Chains A and B, each alone.
Chain A
Amino acid sequence: MSLEIEGLYKRYGEVEIFRDFSISLAEGMITCILGPSGCGKTTFLNILGNIISPDSGIIKGIDGKVVSYIFQEPRLLPWKSVRGNIEFVLDRNMPPNERKNITDRFISLVGLEEFADYYPSKLSGGMRQRVSIARAFAYPSDIILMDEPLKGLDIKLKLNLIQTFSKIWQEYRRTVIFVTHDVDEALLLGSEIIVFSRAPVEIVTRHIVEIPFTGRSLDSDYLKNLEKELLSALGG
């Protein structure tokens, strides 16, 4: 199964972002979309999430699907604890103890059990982004859209969050569309990596990464070669 986009058109005033753009995205995989900043990656996510509508085009396989989001900023409610923030997005009709179980499970998966009752102001930037990852997985979604959630974090934190994310993902698989401009992030997390060109967007190249997450190292020859290819695709 896959998500299919056919004949997508979208323009902002004079700027044509998508012109007769078609793509198919594998379900149950992590697809990383790389591209120069301002190329329309975020627009693409927003169209997938049905937040903005395209001028024209067909999107197949997304109707009735539930979507959760991991934004660049954690977007946590400052007046709610870690637990409160996750419960906030869960269905009100769910029995309270089930809601609590789900919340606790994902808090512990991101390693924040001890901080469950902390307010976001007491957490570090990396911890807040963990909460936002937990929230996205706790929400019963089919698809997770990620818009550069690691931007601005230092490399150690990035690796840390990528590990956490892939660990949870292996247990609770979702279709993930992960937009970034950082090649390393894509190499570490992507099942497939797609490079977008400047607007109007075209697919420059797409690669399936054939190593499982657990065995990935940026120093390996395979990823180094892939990195070179991706960088030249981005530069071109």
Chain B
Amino acid sequence: MKILFTSKQYVSLASVIIILIIWKALSLYFNSGFVVPSPEKTLITTLKLFTDDRFLLTVGTTILRSLTGFFISFLLGLLAGITAGINPYFDAFLRPVLVTIRSIPIISIILLALIWLTPGIVPVFIAMLTMFPFICTNVSDGIRSVDRDLVQMAKFYRVGKTRIVRDVYLPAIMPFIISGASSAMGIGWRAIITGEVLSHPKYGIGTLMQNAQTYLNVDAVIAWTIIAVVISYGFEKVIRWSERKLIVWRL
């Protein structure tokens, strides 16, 4: 088991090295920092970004936006999802809404949001709309998957309603909530940065990415991308960590 695990890690490491080699080869081939900057130069640019006094403000603002979007859509999704899971009529009502939201290109939402809202709010609004369907669908699927026999057992033993919700329903939908949160965060985070690039709020990773692109600072665009990827990875880690804390019984 252990050997398998480390050998898998070796393969992952090899994959990263191959990406770096291809990157380096491309930068040598084009021989221009304006097209493909070298990996080492990009690394230096990335490290320089950390020392910028507005770095924390920029990254913090974008993270705050995504968390705001996440929590709003999480609450709305939880409410709508539970209602849809319990009430088939509300589910029928909600279904076309979700399908519509899902199939609208993100860029259309951004363009409309740019007209309707102030730049700082646009990314939050976009995150909310992209995240909401994931949370909502997962929660309502979770509710429907709750074992009726367990609910019946609890009722036979005259367990109170509050405790049926807390001890039967909630733990049963927890895995669904976690996986919904994970997909939502993955999609929402990318949507937030896209929103920032186009709405250009005062602070934001997307704003600085777009600035860098305007001045052909390709290394800075890539550097911000790397930072965005690392933060997204961090979110995923936090979600997986809470999964292990919340769903001990499955292991």
Contacts and interface: CB of A to CB of B under 8 A. Distances in A.
B241 interface: no
B249 A75 contact: no
Nearest to B174: A79
B149 A92 contact: no
B168 A121 contact: no
Contacts of B249: 78-80, 119, 121
Contacts of A79: 171-172, 247, 249
Contact of A71 (B153, B154, B159): B153
Contact of B159 (A73, A88, A119): A88
A75 B149 contact: yes
Interface in A90-141: 92, 119, 121, 135, 139
A79 B166 CA distance: 12
B157 A69 contact: yes
Q: In terms of DSSP, what is the predominant structure of the interface of chain B?
A: helix
A51 B159 contact: no
A165 B154 CA distance: 22
A218 to B, nearest CB: 32
A187 to B, nearest CB: 28
A75 B250 contact: no
A119 B250 CA distance: 8
B158 to A, nearest CB: 8
A80 B157 contact: no
B150 interface: yes
A85 B237 CA distance: 31
A73 B167 contact: no
B157 A121 contact: no
Contacts of B149: 71, 73, 75
Contacts of A88: 154, 157, 159, 163, 167
Interface residues of B, number: 17
B153 A69 contact: yes
Interface in B153-177: 153-154, 156-157, 159-160, 163, 167-168, 171-172
A92 B153 contact: no
A77 B166 CA distance: 12
A77 B159 contact: no
Most buried by A among B152, B153, B250: B153
A149 to B, nearest CB: 13
Interface string B228-251: 000000000000000000010110
A211 to B, nearest CB: 33
Contact of B250 (A49, A68, A77, A121): A121
B240 to A, nearest CB: 18
A77 B157 contact: no
Most buried by B among A75, A89, A139: A75
Contact of A77 (B160, B171, B247): B171
Contacts of A69: 153, 156-157
Nearest to B153: A75
Given A79-B247, A135-B157, 20 more contacts: A49-B156, A51-B156, A68-B156, A68-B157, A69-B153, A69-B156, A73-B149, A75-B149, A77-B168, A77-B171, A78-B249, A78-B250, A79-B171, A79-B172, A88-B154, A88-B159, A88-B163, A89-B157, A92-B160, A119-B249
Interface of A: 49, 51, 67-69, 71, 73, 75, 77-80, 88-89, 92, 119, 121, 135, 139
